[in-house]
Chains A and B, each alone.
Chain A
Amino acid sequence: MAKHILIDPVTRIEGHAKISIYLDDSGNVSDAEFHVVEFRGFEKFCEGRPYSEMPGICGRICGICPVSHLLASARAGDAIMAVAIPPTADKLRRLMNLGQLIQSHALSFFHLSSPDFLLGWDTPPQTRNVFGLIAANPELARAGIRLRQFGQEVIEILGGKKIHPAWAVPGGVRSSLSEQGRARILNWLPEANATTNTALELFKRVLDTHEREVKIFGNFPSLFMGLVAPDGSWEHHGGKVRFVDSSRNVIADQLEPRDYAQYIGEAVHSFSYLKSPYYRPLGDSEGMYRVGPLARLNVCDRMGTPRADKELRHFRSLGHGAVTSSFLYHYARLIELVACLEQIEQYMADPEILGGDLRADAGINQLDGVGVSEAPRGTLFHHYTVDGSGIVQRVNLIIATGQNNLAMNRTVAQIARHYLHDNQITEPLLNRVEAGIRCYDPCLSCSTHAAGQMPLQVRLVGPGGEVLSETSRD
Chain B
Amino acid sequence: MCAKTLTIDGNEVSAADDATILDAATEAGIKIPTLCHLEGVYDIGACRLCLVEAVGIPKLLPACTTKVVEGMNVRTDTERIRKYRRINLELLFAERNHVCSVCVSNNHCELQTLAYNHGMDHVRYDYLFPKWAVDTTHPRYGMDHNRCILCTRCVRVCWHVEGAGTLNTAGRGARSQIIADLIQPWGEADSCTSCGKCVMACPTGALFQRGATVGEMEHDREKLEFIITAREKKQWIP
Contact = CB atoms under 8 A, between A and B. Distances in A.
Q: Do A and B come from one complex?
A: yes
A76 B38 CA distance: 39
A60 B102 contact: yes
Given A53-B104, A60-B102, A166 B134 contact: no
B134 A48 contact: yes
Interface stretch (B61-69, B168-176, B213-221, B223-231): B213-221
A311 to B, nearest CB: 38
A411 interface: no
A184 B162 CA distance: 50
Interface string B133-145: 1111101001000
Interface in A28-51: 48-50
Interface string B100-138: 011010000000000000000000000000000111110
Chain A contact patch, size range: 10 to 19
A55 B211 CA distance: 12
A389 interface: yes
A129 interface: no
Contacts of A174: 213, 216
A60 B136 contact: no
A53 B208 CA distance: 12
Contacts of A170: 211, 213
A50 B136 contact: yes
Contacts of A50: 134, 136, 142, 210
A52 B211 contact: yes
A391 B102 contact: no
B54 to A, nearest CB: 44
A72 to B, nearest CB: 15
Contacts of B135: 389
A169 interface: yes
Interface residues of B, number: 19
Interface in A349-393: 361, 363, 389-391
B41 interface: no
B214 A389 contact: no
A436 interface: no
Nearest to B215: A166
Contacts of B136: 50, 389-391
Interface in B50-91: none
B33 interface: no
Contact of B137 (A55, A60, A363, A389): A389
B187 A53 contact: no
B212 interface: yes
A166 B215 CA distance: 8
Interface string A53-70: 101110010000000000
B205 to A, nearest CB: 10
Given A50-B142, A60-B102, A55 B213 contact: yes
Contact of A169 (B187, B210, B213): B213
Interface in A134-183: 164, 166, 169-170, 174
A312 to B, nearest CB: 38
Contacts of B213: 52-53, 55-56, 166, 169-170, 174
A52 B214 CA distance: 9
Nearest to B104: A53
Given A60-B101, A60-B102, A53 B214 contact: yes
A49 B134 contact: yes
B212 A52 contact: yes
Interface of B: 101-102, 104, 133-137, 139, 142, 185, 187, 210-216
23 contacts: A48-B134, A50-B136, A50-B210, A52-B210, A52-B213, A53-B102, A53-B214, A55-B213, A55-B214, A56-B213, A56-B215, A166-B215, A174-B216, A361-B211, A363-B139, A389-B135, A389-B136, A389-B137, A389-B185, A389-B187, A390-B136, A391-B133, A391-B134
**Nearest 8 interchain pairs by C-beta:** A56-B214, A166-B214, A389-B136, A169-B213, A389-B137, A57-B102, A52-B211, A56-B102
